[in-house]
Amino acid sequence: MKKQISIIGVPMDLGQTRRGVDMGPSAIRYAGIVERLQKLNYEIQDLGDIEIGRPLLEKIESKSDNNLKNLKEVAEASEKLSAAVSNVVDEGSFPLVFGGDHSIAIGTLAGLSKHYNNLGVIWYDAHGDLNTSNTSPSGNIHGMPLAVSLGIGHSRLTEIEGYTPKVKPENIVIVGARSLDEGEKELIREKGIKVYTMHEIDRLGMTKVMEEAIAYISKNTDGVHLSLDLDGLDPHDAPGVGTPVLGGISYRESHLAMEMLAEADILTSAEFVEVNPILDEKNKTATVAVALMGSLFGEKLK
């Protein structure tokens, strides 16, 4: 990985309805991420936080005619983030994005994919985030960023940077899925998206899953982005998330996955999302996120 890392915070909480996840970037910084990466001899540039527009209070949880909550604000934030991420890539630095809810991946992937012909994405998450306005039971955009990046969804989101799609289905691997809506399952089958559910992780073991995922994602891509939702981990290890799902990936398995990605040296960008300090226990989830980033960026015991 590049030795210069540029941190971008995205205090976004409008992609879902549980307040508090906008404090995620601050919680991750408070947990000592800058110091941890500096100890690994990285040059860190913290670019601060993207400014997030706020809708009128009475409209924060209302749906538009398109069954999408806070569409305008999410789209505007995605455009800002896309520009910031693209600038980091132009400068030759490694973009490291802190969320915020997972809707921020719309902007991250938009800013990245213009620099690659075949951007690969490892989606480490309990959810597929492949819903659309037609399939989403909630209208929460944080359940839609992967679909949007495939060019499926509202044009205000899919057309950021003026082109679509941002990612091809054959260049995606989902790891840790255990909560998929029916519409998402259908889309996975239709597009042939590679998914390792908790069944595969339990049956094959994390070592085999990551070996296969790394081989698959490395085959035809010229860059690889890791989008890690802390709810991919079991709530016992990462309680401070908005949509916890029991039976998740363990803390140790997640470290192994990050260590294997570090050894493979394929990542060109990363984001860690859905840290919600209000729902957390003494900043435990942000501390877990920082520890996983340590492993991702090459931290070793010996």
Q: Which residues are catalytic?
A: 102, 125, 127, 129, 142, 229, 231, 274
Q: What's the CA gap between 154 and 302, in Å, rounded?
A: 49
Specify the long-range contacts of residues 49-58, CB closer than 8 Å, at least 24 apart. 49/8, 49/9, 49/10, 49/11, 49/25, 50/8, 50/9, 50/10, 50/11, 50/12, 50/77, 50/80, 50/81, 50/84, 51/80, 52/10, 52/11, 52/12, 52/13, 52/14, 52/22, 52/77, 53/77, 55/14
> Residue 297 is inside which H or E element, if any?
none
- The answer to whether the annotation marks 127 as part of a ligand binding site is yes
Cα–Cα nearest to 270, from 84, 97, 78, 85: 97
- The answer to whether the annotation marks 236 as part of a ligand binding site is no
Q: What's the CA gap between 119 and 42, in Å, rounded?
A: 24
- The answer to whether the annotation marks 234 as part of a ligand binding site is no
CB 232 within 8 A of CB 57: no
Enumerate the H helices of 1-141 as residue ranges: 24-30, 33-39, 71-90, 105-113
Strands 43-49 and 223-229: unpaired
- The answer to whether the annotation marks 229 as part of a ligand binding site is yes
Q: How far apart are the first and last CA of the chain?
A: 20
DSSP at 66? T
The residue type at 300: K
Annotated binding-site ranges for Mn(2+): 102, 125, 127, 129, 229, 231
